[in-house]
Structure 1
Amino acid sequence: MHVFIMVAGVFTGAHVWQETVARLVAAGSSAHAVPLTGVDPSRPATPTHVGLETHIEDVIAAIDAVDVTSGQEIVLVGHDYGIHPVLGAADRRAERVARVVYLDCGMPQNGVPALVAVPDQALRAQLTEHAEAGEREGVLAPPAPDEWERWGSTAGVGEAALERLTALATPQPLGTLLQPLRLTGAVAAVPITGVLCARNGASIDLVQRLVDFGDPALAVLTEPQVTFFELPTGHWPMLSCPAALTDVLLRAAAGDGHRLRPVGDDAPVPAHLRPFPVDVPELPRDRQGHVDLYVPDGEGPRPAVVFVHGGPVPAGARPRPREWPTLVGYARLAAAEGMVGATLDHSLHDVADYERAAADIAAAVELVRADARVDADRIALWFFSGGGLLTTDWLTQPPAWLRCLAASYPVLAPLPAWGLVGSRFQPARAVEQAGALPVVLLRAGRETPEIAATVAAFVTAANDCAARLEVVDVPDGHHGFETLDAPEETVPALHHAMRSVVTHLTS
């Protein structure tokens, strides 16, 4: 029999697990929601004396109360912030824990405080200042009814449940977010399961893509003892779909779940490293700093198309994005049309890096424009995937030399878990200032619902302000369709879009 010990996230107490606990018990398991000191009403405490270590001790006490000699296996479940005390406790009681379930949360590391997982980036910056100043007293006020989205998608949570969540929310002691997590490494031996909530912006496919990028730090996710599940809901599945969550937890405890494909000689070629579907000339690259140029033969100067990869892409990914077959293929396709094609690397390694990435792109564009083989007054920018948010700066009062902006399967609004609600990276707002700038949008018909919603909002905004938007549809295309879908479906759309961009550059 399994014993589920569950720990809630910020501002919430054991009450959020009420229905999940009841369903687990009805299924024949034992289940306990841990009341956290200084957060749950049943364990009041002065916030000054409450830190992450306090909550780790709360979870350890719950573990020690289980009689494992009777054959009961302990499964720890951490949601949101709750994964931090769960890992701290599992590290000190590794021999007693059968599995740790990461419920729509990050992967905390030794020595790192929970504040790094705060999704609201502005608030995270404020908390970081507190931590650097050694200030750990006080509390963080719980969200107002209309502020929960800043902490994660509320998709699927009914109005009554959201009202109850707000009514029972309590302040979070700052020490729980600012005190670093300390791990000995013992917890690494404990099997783990990740439960991802798709409506909050996470998916198994996304994690597989991150692993495929080749960052050694993510290789641990492909080990046999690591499994994954995905729920089509927001950040609070215990409120939005407790029945589905219960089923997933029971299956996780049994060792079921999806296992990620490892990167290696025997593994299939990852999507981003598969051949470009268009037969293009094998032009050599001309490397200039963090930019690669593909220049056709003949006299110049020529218009240029700068291709901006998506992300986040882990810093350790190899090969680097500017060398990926898809980006190189696009650049050579532009060169076949008489344009200079350019690929680049930028610093979008995490969702917190958009500012840095935007600066990298601006520098790359100026490097391209300064090249004697390039017509500095005829430039197009072409963005992909998560790079779609980086269109914002170029849509906002575009410079005269920017003749066209294109985007393939872009993310055109921050996803809920990215914590960018108040950021400036909002393309749907920026398009109102695009003026006469032509925008060519390649839209995947089988895009994930979360990303498709951002594209739909952008198209609506563009139409409302009469922007010069051309939509090139790939009806049966998926996100990253160039190497995922049949060439007969994708190649005509690629040629169509490229011809449109070239026309805007040369007219």
Structure 2
Amino acid sequence: MTAFILVAGAHTGGWIWREVAARLRESGARVDPVTLTGMGDPDRPADPGTDLETHIDDVLRLIDAADEAQVVLVGHCYGIHPVLGAADRRPERVARIVYLDAGMPQRGDQALTLVPDEAVRERLSRRADTDEDDWLTPPPALEEWQRWGSVAGIPPTALALLAENAVPQPVRTLTQPLRLTGAVSALPSTGVLCTGNGSSIAMVEGLVGLGDPRFQALTEPRVTFFELDTGHWPMLSRADEVAATLLRAAAGEGHRVAAAKNQLPGHLRPFLLDVPERRRERIGRVDLHFPGGLPRDRPDAPSADVSDGLSAVLPDAVPEAEGPWPAVVFVHGGPVHPDTRPTPRDWPGFVGYARSVAGMGAVGVTLDHRLHDLADYGRAAEDIAEAVDLVRAHPLVDADRVALWFFSAGGLLSADWLAAPPPWLRCVAATYPILAPMPNWRLVASRFRPAVALRSAGGLPVVLTRVGQERGEIAVTVEEFLAAAKDCDADVEVIDVPDGHHGFETTDRSGQARRAVEGALRSVLGHLLS
């Protein structure tokens, strides 16, 4: 017999598992839905000293009391913190850990990062270091729960019940760092990803493919994954599916993410256009690829489609002319771990784009910004602004003609430029962009909302390349952006790649993909050179 210990997220207790627990018991399993200390059980009230270790002890007591050979610990959202702490102390008793739409906290991490409001996070952090009497943080109001995670799929009555039954959370449970010895890292685990909250197996595979060392353990055979097409509280929206998934997870089932063997990951494969190397200058984290130096009749010159296509639009453009030239700055996505090699400015896709625009009469700029984690968008925005200033100050760049081109999760970084476009910014482009934070990206500041910023963009041209095979959680952000563009009559040109996937320029050499890239290049250069 399997024993399930179910640990809920912040402000909730064992009651939230009622329907899931009933279905698991029908299968013959033992189920302990945990109400942690101070979370609604009158027999275990909280006090100012209640902290994460208190909640870990709650889970330990249930593990120690279980007679079953197999104990499966299930942590939802905040609940994964006490689950990991307890499993690390009793690894021999734990058959599997299930991350139910939960993050991957490491030793020293605080659950405080789950709080969506930056100002509240700072206030709670300060409060934990004082002797204030105010040692509880109140639960969200009914209309605020969507800020803590997608409420997709929750019936209105269940959502009302969530708000009604929620209780204040002891502040120190959120601010005390997670203490781990490392024993938990060897235990079997299963991630149950809720696509409505912005997580998916495809996204995990993409992170693994980038070579980020933080995610390489996810390719081990002991790790499995499931997806649920719902929001952040699946126990309220899909109880039957949650119960069935937990049973399958306990049996070791699920999707396994394979590590790439003997082949380059997608982002390191060659660019789909054959473009020659250009003269490059490296300044700090910025690379500038300059026009000129290769006549069109050379075998390694830009493809006729690119050069002739530009000439058809701009017959006066002369790629071999002397500077100063306009510039296109290419902004990568992320998060990208700081130890990833090569860094994004040397990835074939970005280098290929930069060399392409250099062959068309502009300086192509690649850069490394420091979006290493979701909390780093502010710092990445500063890096981009600094890089743009450096580029515009270069003697071979026309400071009054610059375009910015954003990719993937870098799309959020377009918001600052859309909100207040300077006169020298001639165009903004975005390719398979993420244009709104995922519901579970709580650490992203509210200013990074391109759909909102677009209303202040005026007549700034936007060139958006949309892939037809985009992941659903990303595609919805693009549609939100396009709806905003329609409402405010923004100048947005959409280039569709019906069969294209995220990162298609280095994984697809079809005619459709080539035409899309060349079309986007012609459009951006048209705005820049006219």
When normalised by structure 2's length, the TM-score is 0.91
The residue aligned with 2:398 is: 375
* 1:403 maps onto 2:426 in alignment: yes
Post-superposition offset of 1:341: 0.4
1:471 aligns with 2:468: no
User: What is the distance in 2 between the residues matched to 1:12 and 1:325?
Assistant: 47
Instruction: Go from structure 1 to structure 2 and tell me whether the alpha carbon gap of 1:483 and 1:240 turns closer, same or farther (over 3 Å shift).
Output: farther
Structure 1: 5+ residue stretches without partners: none
Relative to structure 1, the CA distance from residue 96 to residue 135 in structure 2 (aligned partners, 3 Å threshold; closer, same or farther) is: farther
Aligned to 1:130: 127
| 366, 386, 411: which one aligns with 1:363 | 386
Shift of 1:484: 3.7
Deviation at 1:29, TM superposition (A): 1.8
C-alpha distance in structure 1 between counterparts of 2:233 and 2:154, whole Å: 7
Indicate if the aligned counterparts of 1:309 and 1:384 stay in contact, CA closer than 8 A: yes
Cα separation, 1, equivalents of 2:285 and 2:128: 34
Query: Which letter maps to 1:98?
Result: A
Is there any run of 5+ residues in structure 2 with no aligned partner, and where?
293-319
Specify whether residues 421 and 150 from structure 1 end up closer, same or farther in structure 2 by C-alpha distance, changes over 3 A only. Answer: farther
Q: Offset at 1:420?
A: 5.8
Alpha-carbon distance change, 498 to 143 in structure 1, aligned in 2, over 3 angstroms: same
Query: What is the identity, as a one-letter code, of the residue corresponding to 2:57?
Result: E
Cα deviation digits, residues 420-448 of structure 1 (max 9, x gap): 68611111111111112111111112222
Matches of 1:267 and 1:157, distance apart in 2: 44
Per-residue CA distance 1:156-188 (angstroms, 9 max, x = gap): 111111011111111111111112221122222
Aligned to 2:289: 294
Q: 1:101 aligns with which of 95, 98, 118?
A: 98
Q: 1:110 to 1:397 in 2, by over 3 A?
A: closer
1:212 — aligned with what?
209
Q: Quote the offset at 1:33 in angstroms.
A: 0.5
Is 1:185 aligned with 2:173? no
Q: What CA RMSD, in Å, does the superposition of the two structures yield over aligned residues?
A: 1.7
Give yes or no for the alignment of 1:174 onto 2:171.
yes
Could you say which residue in structure 2 is the equivalent of 1:326?
Answer: 349
Q: What is the aligned counterpart of 2:266 among 260, 263, 271?
A: 271
Cross-structure match for 2:313: none
Change in 2 beyond 3 A, CA 1:132/1:236: same
Q: Does 1:32 align with 2:51?
A: no
Question: Which residues in structure 2 correspond to 1:444-463 (within 5 Å)?
Answer: 444-463=467-486
The count of aligned residue pairs is 502
Offset of 1:486 from its aligned partner? 5.0
Match of 1:491 among 504, 514, 519: 514
AA paired with 2:358? A
Q: State yes or no: 1:62 paired with 2:62.
A: yes
CA contact (8 A) 2:75 2:81 kept: yes
SS at 2:440's partner residue?
A: helix
Aligned pair partner of 2:372 in 349, 353, 357:
349
CA contact (8 A) 2:116 2:148 kept: yes
How big is the shift at 1:463?
A: 2.0
Quote the offset at 1:132 in angstroms: 5.0
Assess if the C-alpha contact under 8 Å between 1:106 and 1:117 holds in 2.
no
Alpha-carbon spacing, 1:268–1:24, altered in 2? closer, same or farther (3 Å): farther
Residue aligning to 2:196 = 199
Partner of 1:53: 53
Rate the CA distance shift 1:211–1:445 in 2: closer, same or farther, 3 A: same
> Matched residue of 2:164: which SS?
helix
Deviation at 1:113, TM superposition (A): 2.2
Q: How far does residue 456 in structure 1 lie from its aligned partner after superposition? A: 1.4
1:20-55 Cα distance to aligned partner (Å, 9 max, x none): 111111122221111211002344413313111111
Secondary structure at 2:401 match in 1? strand
Contact 1:137–1:175 at 8 Å: present in 2 too?
Answer: no
Percent identity (aligned): 59
CA contact (8 A) 2:128 2:172 kept: no
